[in-house]
Amino acid sequence: MRQDDLYEEAAAIYGRALERLVYAYESRPDKRGDLLQEIHIALWRSFKTFEARCSVRTWVYCVAHNTATSYITRQRRATLHLVSLEELASMPDRIDDAEQHDLRFNTDRLLRLIHRLNPVDRELMLLYLEDMDAASIAEIIGISTNNVRVQIHRIKKVLARRFHAGGEQL
């Protein structure tokens, strides 16, 4: 397949997953489009050298996560910007009852906790949350499958402890 064809197919299949990845990596709504664009450019460029040594899915996630990690590292400031209460309140949603509100609030809290992880831990959790198996994550990150399992277990414990303690500092 040609570079353009591979890219178009990957963008069609994994476009929504890439948007979720961007949302998870970039807390600033006004910067998400920039990151998504960088990922798509990197993905298109990467298909020039794609040799099918791994699945297209693994390739897409590897390129996307490497691009996002590099982007966030470049954009990192002294203080981490979280979504403000005003921004959160202005996000479109339909809260029909208290349970939906609690679910959204808890999801937002968890996402803020994930944003505060170091880049490697954040990458592991985001891949895990995308239902990637340990072997695929290991291939993308460049560590052993067993190490992936251990790290995910450790990160989940840290996140759970912080979440239930009500704090957002890691």
pLDDT at 83 (0 to 100): 52
pLDDT digits (tens, 9 = 90+) for 39-48: 999 999 999 9
Cβ contact 73:49 at 8 Å: no
pLDDT tier at 25 (50, 70, 90 boundaries)? confident
**Gyration radius of the chain's alpha carbons:** 17
Averaged over 142-150, what is the pLDDT?
A: 92
Burial group, residue 162, by CB count within 10 angstroms (0-12, 13-18, 19+): middle
What is the average pLDDT value for the chain, to the nearest integer? 82
pLDDT at 33 (0 to 100): 93
Cβ contact 114:126 at 8 Å: yes
Give the residue numbers spanning the domain of 11. Answer: 3-165
Residue 170, in any domain of the structure: no
Averaged over 100-126, what is the pLDDT?
A: 79
Q: First CA to last CA across the chain, in angstroms? A: 45
pLDDT at 166 (0 to 100): 72
Q: What's the number of domains the chain is made of?
A: 1
**By three-state DSSP, how is residue 50 classified?**
coil
Closest by alpha carbon to 18, among 144, 26, 73, 45?
26
Measured between alpha carbons, how far is 92 from 112 in angstroms, rounded to an integer? 18
pLDDT > 50? residue 115: yes
Residue 128, in any domain of the structure: yes
Residue 150, in any domain of the structure: yes
Residue 100, in any domain of the structure: yes
- What pTM was computed for the model? 0.59
